[in-house]
Structure 1
Amino acid sequence: MVPRPFVFLLTVTALLCSLFYFSVGLGNFSVRNTLQEYSALPVDNGFPFIQDLYRPYIHPIDALEFDDQNGKTYSLPQMPRFTKPLREKILILDVDTRPLDGPGELLNGTRLNTTSAHHNTIGRLSHYIYATIHGYDYKLIQASSPKGLHGTWSKVTAMKEALKYYEFVIFLDGDAMIRHPHLPMEWLFNYWDITPDTLVAMALDPDEPQNRDAKGKTLLNTGFIIGQRDPRTQELFEAWESCPTDMRYPDCSKWSQQWSHEQAAFGNHLRYDNALQGGIKTLSCAEANGYPEMAKTNCTGEFIRHYWIFKDLLPAAVESSITQYFLPRVQGLFHQNFASVVLNISDSAVSSIKE
């Protein structure tokens, strides 16, 4: 029997090699060259390997329903607006100000050890898998730390710049994953009713005291953000980026370093801005935040899982999301070669088993 960790290692090692080839910056956004240490790697991007694995399972974009592996059915609220793949018009985006070259981290150049790999490594590989399956672009932005701001503010500038080049930008934190890799983002756009008027979409945080703004309203979590290209979206991100200057939003500078940084700034200021009303879509915590082990919060990550506390649970969840597709394909290959690999003990062929 092939152990599950071996299957996982085989898959993500191939993905890691191709990810190094695909990590670049955007426009004039400040980045570090992530390729210089890996120039000896093969140029093969590994796309056919990943796409062939998942192709038989990809859910139709215009399907009216989706059934998960637990038998729960999700139905569209209206006829689908998205009916064809957007492919490279969608960017799956990772952003980090850290070098990511330490033990078990994504860019350290050593062979991946899945038992000691950092959760962010596994999480970002899962983002790359998802982008590759559906033909979306993927970028890992290694950003310079914003002066005077916590590093997580870098996602705001990165998304602002990326939305100049892509119709949609999907940002995920390193401890977040897409639960169903075969489910296209376009189907989720239909399910969540992402319209031309939607500028950004984010999920609610758990309804707990530490997750409420100054008015007592639950914050939106910035670990998963859908951004749609539009002049008003640029206005939103410019306002968000400049929020700590206090020029447009007095007292926003308190969130420069204080938790929850850009998330609290958005929740306390931008979502109350009349100029942005109607463009901010709120997603449910159950569907686009949290994970099953936090069921008591009603945030179980039905579509997007975000492991904000028990981050060590993420690698196993990603492993499961890979092996549930990999092993059935192996079983199919087994049956395709049934006659040559299965011998009946009474068969005369047993005498020539090595032939």
Structure 2
Amino acid sequence: MLSFLWISLLVISQTEALKIGAFNIQTLGRTKYGKEEVMVYIDLILRRYDIVLVQEIRDAAGNVIPGIRNRLASNGEEWEVVYSERLGRNSYKEQYAFYYRPDKITVESSYQYDDGVDDGTDAFSREPFGILVNSDITGGLKKFGILGVHIAPNEAVEELNALVDVFTAAKENWGVDDVMIMGDFNADCTYVSDEEKEQLDLRTDNSYLWLIGDDVDTTVSSTDCAYDRIVLTGDLLKAAAITSSAQEWRFDNVFNVNATMTKAVSDHYPVEVNIASDIFHLLPESNSTDGNTTDSGMSTTMELTSVTTTSILGSSISDPLTSSHTTTDRNSAVRSTGSVSWKLAVYFLLSNILAVSSL
């Protein structure tokens, strides 16, 4: 019995998770890129993730995307980037970029959704763009697709409904069933009413799982809007998603910056989720309804653990390894680095002891 328990602890303590994020960095062009005091915070936010989608890149010269990659790699870490063409129906163009750690994942291919001529009869102002990911970290889920999108606010309902076709096309292109779409959906407040949300094809079809609830505020201003979302489809991906890890990440609270600096970084918070191997699903299940996550199982308060990551003008900024949110879920003890905390291991050990003692 002891050997079984030891092996169980060893396996679960070595289990990792991929932390995936999406961040709409408002008007990310040469002007913002040239503000070092702002870029330092953007660097820290992006380094939180193993894969992160950046939206609203506006740089015709093409220097910002590789520049950010070089900044991320400047401390010796490995970073790569895959990015879209410049997208838009007129002179206003944006790009998507996926920054990722090549020691954690391999990007097998990219995919640009094509909805026809950019003349206003097409489905999207900025067509979704994505990558096919291969990773050993996610256990039985070896390959899955990640698509990024920045929905046009004044056409939000129409573009959101068109995402069903994007899911279908991407799955056919990649030959996989497991795909997520994330980004700024503009799926709330004046752009999409509560009634319209409930009638969206992605909401009425239960094969799609919404991870960021309607009550989450993903904006940094005084508004309270759940614009940024993550939606999954595919049994393996939905099983591997740690639903309690899905959240907006409030970098202003973490870095203790004022409202002026927060808005200088962006008008949005990043949204995120952890994807892990099947070992987590030996523990109690969580339940999700209507796009909102509710959880059952072990109650764990995630502790804020900080390490000094950089020094700016002589003062240190602490980059937390975990969220300070309190979460009631079996997976809430997963650190943002992907390592399973000792609390989860102890819980697993005690569960086995109780199970054996009841025989």
Q: TM-score, normalised by structure 1?
A: 0.28
